[in-house]
């Protein structure tokens, strides 16, 4: 009896202790812990290297040899990461580190990025940028932020956009190659680099007007962000280069800090206790530790997307448009594109397609094939066109399907024109000691030979071919854009326009990017927000094919004189089509079936 109460007493004590512990656990956290939990977030984003709509197009061979393949990064992956930050419902700051000189964005991407920064601010967050030695692109991104910090020993190079167009005539003369061109329209700038040593006056004036239109978007962004009059911004652009104190005095930046990293500079400007979160894209690298895994990845094709519910597809068409049936990374090949479009047309889960175009054009026949496939798709499903940095010549040709066209103010578009180009290699083969003798029954047998001057009959045939293709191009534009032929001729002929100019001319419908095009498409398809997926196609090709393309330019240029080879390989993008033209002229010892081109000027750059 005496033992029982003692036992009950211990149990009661233990129960009481447990209750006491539970009570402690339920009490509010100490003030210090509450303060730590309430720390505002500081989202840190470092922008570096190139960003591409379709990342494969900027493949860097040196990064693969260095042990990984992480360049360029996906631009839309970046936008997606920032939009997640905008939607998280948490207050705080987003700090953008713009100290990397390798940052590369095209003008159209700047407009897409600016709209996402607007969503971040609308979500309750403030934004800041950190600059060290900044160029136009870094500064344009900084002007999307609420506050701009700059290193006190920094430099700002704030210049107006300019253009580069490569002229090949003297190089071709050095090689002993004569380019014979047949074209439609005096403004076809794609032909001038082959037949002139410098730009014609009327083409230079036309390009200058286009640059002025593009610059309006850059000046607008700075004027709005820095609260500076338009005229003052233009004067600052003309001055161009500023040391950090001068940039501060001119109102181009908000605050100078000692040279350090972005986080340290920001914390000095705002001595608060932040919870730092790094916003980083997933790196797509190759694992070299297991050779079997490596080779499996190298030789595997792109993974096919499976659509599990209603889906909107962003069809990425990036590169030069070429004929063919086999994929070439960095090119828009007619056969694979037409087959992919056909699959999208037949897939019941695909409810609409945004066709995103980044292309200077290319083969007119390949452009026609892609156009017909897109027209067929548009008859069965909603289709919207989104132009990126360039959708010109053949890149504009494939938009002529009667659908709504979105462009950015800085998009380069138009260049509605066609040309044919023949390479006369007679001087080249004579220079290396080769001589050709022909035995023919009549002159027609050798009329297409690349080792003699093209005959008047052959040039007449080619002119007829070019004229008929140009007439077809004009008919596509007239039908899809409802522009009378007489008015269209005044804005066609190879003339190149900015997106803002194209809007005024009726060549595009609206200013906006992929985000606006997707919203429009979802409305047309009758899809509710959150009840559909968005998928980007095609997926980047496998690394082995990218490696092959990286070596292609070297193989095409093999045997050329050293300075000429160095010049061409130094401008790979511009030289690729030129090298193909020369190679095709040599193939089989005779000129192939005549080809006509709907191609914007080779090597055109706006920077």
Q: Are 600 and 393 in contact (CB under 8 A)?
A: yes
Please provide the CATH number assigned to the domain covering 303-539+559-606. 3.90.226.10
Task: Report which of 456, 433, 316 is spatially closest to residue 386, judged by C-alpha positions.
Answer: 316
pLDDT in tens, 189-205: 788 888 899 999 989 99
Q: Would the pLDDT of 27 be above 50?
A: no
Q: Give the pLDDT confidence of 152-182 residue by residue, as tens digits.
A: 999 999 999 998 887 888 888 888 888 888 8
Confidence of residue 17 (pLDDT cuts 50, 70, 90): very low
Copy the structure tokens of residue 254. Answer: 């908000």
Between β-strands 496-498 and 412-414, what pairing exists: parallel, antiparallel or unpaired?
antiparallel
Looking at residue 54, what is its pLDDT? 87
What is the rounded radius of gyration, in angstroms, for the C-alpha atoms of the chain?
30
Q: Look at residue 84 and tell me whether its pLDDT is greater than 80.
A: yes
Q: pLDDT at residue 22 above 90?
A: no
Given this model, what pLDDT does residue 271 score? 77
Give dist(CA 528, CA 487) in Å, integer.
Answer: 41
Beta carbons of 362 and 581 less than 8 angstroms apart? no
Pick from 66-80, 423-437, 522-536, 559-573: least confident: 559-573
What pLDDT does 602 receive?
67
Class of domain 38-159+240-285: alpha beta
Q: Is the pLDDT of residue 388 over 90?
A: yes
Which pair of structure tokens corresponds to residue 185?
């329209």
Question: Which range has highest mean pLDDT (72-86, 321-335, 399-413, 548-562)?
Answer: 399-413
Sorting pLDDT into bands at 50, 70 and 90, what band is 303?
low
Q: Which of 90-94, 184-188, 282-286, 400-404 has the lowest mean pLDDT?
A: 282-286
Residues of the chain with pLDDT > 90: what percent?
54
DSSP letters for 139-154: HHHHTTSSEEEEEEEE
- Lowest-confidence segment of 6-20, 30-44, 180-194, 561-575 by average pLDDT: 6-20
What residues have CB less than 8 Å from 7, skipping those under 6 apart? none
Burial of 136 (0-12, 13-18, 19+ CB in 10 A): buried
Q: For residues 53 and 63, give the distance between their C-alpha atoms in angstroms, rounded to a whole number.
A: 19
Q: DSSP readout, 441-470? A: SSGGGGTT-TTSPPPHHHHHHHHHHHHHHH
Closest CA to 145 of 131, 124, 132, 128: 128
Each domain of the chain, given as residue ranges in start order, spans: 38-159+240-285, 303-539+559-606
Give me the mean pLDDT over the 124-153 stretch. Answer: 96
* pLDDT attached to residue 438: 76
pTM value is 0.84
Residue 556 pLDDT > 50, yes or no? Answer: no
Residue 134 pairs in a beta bridge with 156
Q: Measured between alpha carbons, how far is 105 from 79 in angstroms, rounded to an integer?
A: 13
Residue 505 has pLDDT above 70, yes or no: yes
| Mean per-residue pLDDT, 451-455 | 80
What confidence category does residue 13 fall into, taking pLDDT thresholds of 50, 70 and 90? Answer: very low
Residue 428's pLDDT band (cuts 50, 70, 90): confident
Question: Is 303-539+559-606 in the same CATH topology as 38-159+240-285?
Answer: yes
Nearest-angstrom CA–CA distance, 142 and 131: 8
Mean pLDDT over the full length of the chain? 82
């Amino acid at each position: 009896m005496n033992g029982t109460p003692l036992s009950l007493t211990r149990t009661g004590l233990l129960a009481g202790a447990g209750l006491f512990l539970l009570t402690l656990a339920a009490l509010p956290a100490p003030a210090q812990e509450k303060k730590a939990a309430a720390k505002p977030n500081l989202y840190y984003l470092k922008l570096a290297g190139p960003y591409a709509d379709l990342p494969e197009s900027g493949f860097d061979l040196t990064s693969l040899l260095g042990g990984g393949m992480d360049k360029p990064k996906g631009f839309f992956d970046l936008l997606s990461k920032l939009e997640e930050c905008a939607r998280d419902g948490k207050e705080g700051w987003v700090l953008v580190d713009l100290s990397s000189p390798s940052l590369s964005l095209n003008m159209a991407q700047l407009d897409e990025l600016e709209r996402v920064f607007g969503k971040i601010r609308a979500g309750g967050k403030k934004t800041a940028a950190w600059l060290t030695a900044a160029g136009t692109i870094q500064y344009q991104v900084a002007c999307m932020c609420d506050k701009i910090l700059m290193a006190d020993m920094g430099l700002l190079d704030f210049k107006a956009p300019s253009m580069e167009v490569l002229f090949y005539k003297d190089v071709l003369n050095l090689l002993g190659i004569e380019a014979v061109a047949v074209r439609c329209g005096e403004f076809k700038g794609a032909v001038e680099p082959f037949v002139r040593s410098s730009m014609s006056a009327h083409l230079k004036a036309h390009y200058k007007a286009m640059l002025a239109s593009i610059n309006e978007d850059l000046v607008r962004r700075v004027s709005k962000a820095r609260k500076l009059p338009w005229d003052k911004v233009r004067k600052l652009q003309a001055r161009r280069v500023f040391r950090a104190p001068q940039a501060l005095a001119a109102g181009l930046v908000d605050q100078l800090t000692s040279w350090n990293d972005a986080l340290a500079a920001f914390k000095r400007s705002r001595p608060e206790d932040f919870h730092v979160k790094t916003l980083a894209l997933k790196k797509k690298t190759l694992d070299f530790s297991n050779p079997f895994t490596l080779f499996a990845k190298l030789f595997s094709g792109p993974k096919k997307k499976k659509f599990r519910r209603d889906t909107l597809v962003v069809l990425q068409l990036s590169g030069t448009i070429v004929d063919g049936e086999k994929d070439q990374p960095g090119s828009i090949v007619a056969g694979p594109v037409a087959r992919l479009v056909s699959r999208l047309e037949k897939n019941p889960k695909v409810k609409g397609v945004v066709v995103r175009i980044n292309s200077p054009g290319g083969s007119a026949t390949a452009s026609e094939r892609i156009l017909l496939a897109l027209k067929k798709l548009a008859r069965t499903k909603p289709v919207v066109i989104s132009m990126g940095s360039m959708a010109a010549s053949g890149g504009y040709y494939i938009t002529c399907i009667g659908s709504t066209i979105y462009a950015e103010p800085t998009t380069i578009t138009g260049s509605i024109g066609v040309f044919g180009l023949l390479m006369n290699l007679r001087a080249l083969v004579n220079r290396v000691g080769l001589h050709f003798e022909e035995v023919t029954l009549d002159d027609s047998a050798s009329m297409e030979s690349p080792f003699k001057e093209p005959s008047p009959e052959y040039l007449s045939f080619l002119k007829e071919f070019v004229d008929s293709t140009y007439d077809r191009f004009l008919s596509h534009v007239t039908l899809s854009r409802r522009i009378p032929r007489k008015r269209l001729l005044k804005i066609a002929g190879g003339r190149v326009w900015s997106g803002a100019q194209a809007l005024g001319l009726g060549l595009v419908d609206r200013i906006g990017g992929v985000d606006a095009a997707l919203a429009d498409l979802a409305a047309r398809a009758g899809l509710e927000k959150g009840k559909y997926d968005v998928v980007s196609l095609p997926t980047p090709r496998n690394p082995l094919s990218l490696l092959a393309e990286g070596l292609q330019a070297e193989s095409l240029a093999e045997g050329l004189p050293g300075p000429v080879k160095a010049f061409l390989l130094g401008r790979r993008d511009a030289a690729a089509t030129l090298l193909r033209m020369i190679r095709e002229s040599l193939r089989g010892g005779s000129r192939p079936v005549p080809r006509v081109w709907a191609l914007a000027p080779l090597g055109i750059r706006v920077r």
